[in-house]
Amino acid sequence: MGIHPTAIVDPRAQVDATASIGPYSVIGPEVRIGARTTVGAHAVIEGRTTIGEDNRIFHFVSLGAIPQDKKYAGEPCKLVIGDRNTIREFSTFNIGSPGGGGVTRVGNDNWLMAYVHLAHDCIVGNNTIFANNTQLAGHVEVGDWAILGGFTVVHQFVRIGAHGMTAMCSLLFADQPPFVMSQGQPAQARSMNFEGLRRRGFSAERIGAVKAMHKALYRDGLTLEQARERIAALAGETPSAAADVQLMQDFLARVSPQRGIVR
């Protein structure tokens, strides 16, 4: 642990005494790094960036640079990263922008592989996995437990729901509801992430409710509003899945008519 003698750490930066900063890394004046977080060699962490505890940040990472947005004019925006995240080589996370709330946010326990890009105002939940070269444009939201395959590309303002999954090289132009697995360019819904749900301890009853939601959204030729009505009824039919139904309902309530959902 400690700060390598070749690292450049601004005296105004707040680096916990138990954190580790590797050779030739650069830490800016407004950066805060929590306990037991390790930063590899040649990393650059700048801007108003706050990093929590027990993160592993590998070499050649860039965190907290200004947005790749021509409208940005130096406003005091932020990057906030939680605890126990793994951020692999050459990943780039930008601060937020005034047009998106001013904060790019990463939750806890995420596994973010090499060359991942999080543009301004992205919101990433907890326990996600982003495979190599996952690229998120501005204002993208990714829910808890989502898994994004390598080279997944997500259009700005698109949302990916909790427990979902994308195949390698997927291109998302529309919202992907919770539990959905998608693939293609543009991405299309293929199934629900049933195996992932089993691994997370979902009961047979809850998985049955997810299957019913999939049928309502994709198999029975319903409009989105009709599907929402049928999905709402599942909470009464399967009380153990009430929270899963509510998760889906909350997501679908925010779908943009212009963007729609993956089909």
Instruction: Report the candidate in 23, 25, 22 with the shortest Cα–Cα distance to residue 10.
Output: 25
- Which residues are tagged catalytic? 120-121, 138
Q: Are 21 and 39 in contact (CB under 8 A)?
A: yes
* CA gap 126, 141 in Å, rounded: 12
| Residue that is written with structure tokens 């009380």 in the block | 239
> Token match 């993160």: residue?
55
